[in-house]
Structure formats: structure tokens, C-alpha cells
């Protein structure tokens, strides 16, 4: 009986393992702290980039930041607080470690369905947090069209955490993906949004 119970338990474990597609974003809940020598890195697996709305570099980005925050995270002990102001965008890029190298391109399987989701808290009207996944072909050209992007916009969640999610079959020629967030598209002056539990994985 014990052997049978163990067999059933192991089969359940195997089944659970088969249904859970690997998470493709490193440090998706911002729980890992930056190492001492990582300088301005927001958290392992992520990079921050401040730009104007027309993507130009800016001289004074003091109104913008993306920092780990331990006040009221959605899960664990930490989330990420994004601040934007002065008409600038605070952009956050997933920088996955693939074969020992850090880069923004995540390998994907063309023609398959992918899931993208995240939790956001956007208390102030006028603030918008946009999260999206952009797919690229083997020559690293961004793909266009209905199945080329996974995009959601979080705005005015109040003080609650809300989950935003998209799932689409991607183009056959899709080879890479980039996971990206931007705060600052809203109409308000100073804009603040909190982000936690990003998920990007093959749909199974
Ligand atoms: Ca977290």
C-alpha cells in the first residue's frame, strides 16, 4: 500500500512538473537584491532606462526611478516602485541570463502560444503602467501584426493589486522576445506605479 501511495504521489509530482512551463523572466517577484557591485542595477534580471516619450536620451532623469520597495508587496517581501515625471518614461527591461550572458532577448518557439501577466498597483488617476512583450525574428527585427505583441495597460487600480494578463499564439517566424514595462504615459504630473510577480512563459 505504501509503495502504491508513493507511486501515485510520484506520478502526481511528474504531472505537476509537466504542466508547469518554466518562467522565462529572472527574478520575476523582485525578491533577489542587487549584488554590491551591480551599481545602479535595480535588481538582478532587470535594467532601468529613462527616456523621453520620443525615445531620446535625457540629461536630467532625477524625477524618474525604479527601486525595490518592501512596503505592501503583492508577494514575498519586495515589489518594484516605478516613478516617472517631467514628461519622461521610466522603462524597465527584463535582462534574462541565458547561457551565462545577460541580454534582453529571450529565445521563444515560433508558432506557439505564450502567456504574459503581472500584478500592478496604480493608485493615482492619470498614471499608466504599460507592460508588453515584443517578438523578433531570427534577424532581430521586431515583428509587426496582431500576434506580434502582448500588451496590457494598468491604470487606476486604486490601492489594490490587480493582475493583468494576455495570452496569444505568436508568429511562426518569432525567434526572440523582449519583456518591457514603461511608466509615464499617463496625463498626470508625477506618476507612481508598483509592479510585482511578472510572468512570461510558454502556454501549456
Ligand atoms: Ca514580490
> Rg for the chain (alpha carbons), in Å?
19
CA of 1 to the centre of ligand 1 (A): 41
Q: What spacing in Å lies between the alpha carbon of 198 and ligand 1's midpoint?
A: 9
**How far apart, in whole angstroms, are the C-alpha atoms of residue 203 and residue 112?**
8
Q: How far is the CA of 28 from the centre of ligand 1 (A)?
A: 8
Instruction: Determine the 3-state secondary structure of 136 from DSSP.
Output: strand
The per-residue pLDDT for range 156-182, each reduced to its tens digit, is: 778 899 999 989 899 999 999 999 999
Question: Ligand 1 centre from 32 Cα, in Å?
Answer: 9
Instruction: Report the residue count for the chain.
Output: 204
- At residue 27, the pLDDT reads 95
User: Which residues make up the environment of ion ligand 1, defined by Cβ < 5 Å?
Assistant: 29, 73, 75-76, 78, 196
The domain locations on the chain are 24-202
CATH topology of domain 24-202: Jelly Rolls (2.60.120)
pLDDT of res. 83: 94
Mean pLDDT over the full length of the chain: 85
Amino acid at each position: 500500500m505504501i509503495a502504491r501511495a508513493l507511486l501515485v504521489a510520484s506520478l502526481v509530482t511528474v504531472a505537476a512538473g509537466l504542466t508547469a512551463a518554466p518562467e522565462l523572466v529572472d527574478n520575476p517577484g523582485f525578491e533577489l537584491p542587487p549584488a554590491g557591485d551591480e551599481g545602479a542595477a535595480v535588481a538582478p534580471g532587470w535594467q532601468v532606462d529613462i527616456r523621453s516619450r520620443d525615445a531620446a536620451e535625457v540629461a536630467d532623469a532625477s524625477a524618474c526611478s525604479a527601486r525595490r520597495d518592501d512596503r505592501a508587496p503583492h508577494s514575498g517581501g519586495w515589489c518594484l516602485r516605478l516613478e516617472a515625471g517631467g514628461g519622461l518614461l521610466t522603462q524597465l527591461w527584463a535582462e534574462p541570463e541565458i547561457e551565462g550572458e545577460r541580454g534582453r532577448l529571450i529565445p521563444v518557439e515560433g508558432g506557439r502560444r505564450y502567456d504574459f501577466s503581472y500584478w500592478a498597483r496604480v493608485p493615482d488617476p492619470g498614471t499608466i503602467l504599460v507592460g508588453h512583450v515584443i517578438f523578433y525574428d531570427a534577424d532581430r527585427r521586431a515583428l509587426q501584426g496582431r500576434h506580434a505583441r502582448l500588451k496590457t495597460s494598468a491604470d487606476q487600480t486604486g490601492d489594490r493589486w490587480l493582475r493583468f494578463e494576455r495570452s496569444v499564439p505568436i508568429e511562426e517566424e518569432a525567434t526572440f522576445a523582449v519583456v518591457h514595462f514603461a511608466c509615464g504615459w499617463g496625463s498626470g504630473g508625477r506618476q507612481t506605479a508598483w509592479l510585482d510577480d511578472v510572468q512570461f512563459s510558454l502556454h501549456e
